[in-house]
Each structure stands twice: as C-alpha cells, then as structure tokens.
Amino acid sequence: MQTIIETVQPYVSTVATAVVGVLTTIILAGLNTVKVKVNTWLEARTTAAQREVIHKVAGEAFALAQTAFKEAGGERKLQEALQYATLRLAEQGITVSVVELQAAIEKAYLEYKAKTKAVLATEAQPNEEAAQVAAKEAVSGLAAKLNDFLAQATAEVTSVQTQSEPDPIPSSREHVQASVAIE
C-alpha cells in the first residue's frame, strides 16, 4: 500500500497544481468582467459635466492645500484637500467615492508638477537670441585670433625669406638637357 501512495503522489501533486491554476484563471476572468461592469455603471452615474466639475473642484482643493498648508506634510495636505473637495461637491449634489476624489486631486498635483517643471526648464534654457549673440561673439573672437595667428605666421615667413634669399633655379633648356645627358 505504501508503494502505491509513493508512486501516485507526484501525479496527484501535478493534477492539484493544474486544478489550482485553472481555478485562479477563472476567478481572475470573473473579476475582470465584474470590473468592466462596475466601470460601466460608474460611467453611467457620473456624466461628463459632473466629471469636469469634479476635476475643477479637485484642482481648487489642491491649490488650497498647497497654499494654506505650506508647512504641512503631503498626507495632511491631501486630507485637507479631500475634506474641502467633499464639502464643495456635496453642496452641488455630486456624490463621489473617496478613491475617485483622491485620484482627481492626485491628477491635479501631477499636472501642477508637470507645469512647474516645464516652466523651470524654459527659464533654465537661454533664449534663442542670447544664444545667437553668444555664438556670433565666439565666432568673431575665434576669427580674430585666427587672423592674428595667420598674420604672425606670414610675418615670420617673409622675414625668413628676406634674410636668406635662395639661389634662383635655372630654368634654361641647356641646363635640363645637360642634366639628362649626364645621367
């Protein structure tokens, strides 16, 4: 009996693992279907105009938390923004989950960070005119140095030539013919 159990045990483990894998896949597929249905239901409950209002209020809440609670930490700012946004939306009759409201506030924060990063990058880059002026100055300075160098080099060459005049090279035919005949 013991040998049968030892022989069958690896097969049972393999089958059990496969069954657990199939059940997990079925459960995940069911959850995905439920998620799609919940998202459709939420979309039907909140219109595009309500979403726009939610995002505007979230932006206001973020701005309030950012300015009124400068010294507070990020979590405290988020709590204050959530409280403000919840009250403002309740005044308008819009009911939103805390998670959705937090997501809208976080989106406002990310947009703010992107805008400030873009502004800082633009300020850090020199404007195009300044870059062109700097390039022209660099080129003209380089050209002046090159002219000085060439003038100095040609002055040295002419002074060497005037100090020792080389013997003129004879160009007569007789000299050329004589050198050919010698060879």
Q: Which positions ≥6 away from 58 have C-beta within 8 Å?
A: 81, 85, 101, 104, 105, 107, 108
> pLDDT at position 180, please?
45
Task: Say how far apart CA 85 and CA 80 lie, in whole Å.
Answer: 9
**Structure token digits, residue 177:** 């013919």
Burial (CB < 10 A; 0-12, 13-18, 19+), residue 128, is exposed
Write the DSSP string, 67-116.
HHTTTS-HHHHHHHHHHHHHHHHHHTT----HHHHHHHHHHHHHHHHHHH
Q: Which positions ≥6 away from 57 have C-beta within 8 Å?
A: 85, 88, 89, 104
**What is the tens place of the pLDDT at every residue in 124-159?**
555 666 667 777 777 777 777 767 777 776 766 566
For residue 43, pLDDT over 50 is answered with yes
Give the residue, 80 or 176, on which the prediction is more confident.
Answer: 80
What pTM, to 2 d.p., does this model score?
0.42
**What is the tens place of the pLDDT at every residue in 51-86?**
888 889 999 888 888 888 877 788 888 888 899 999
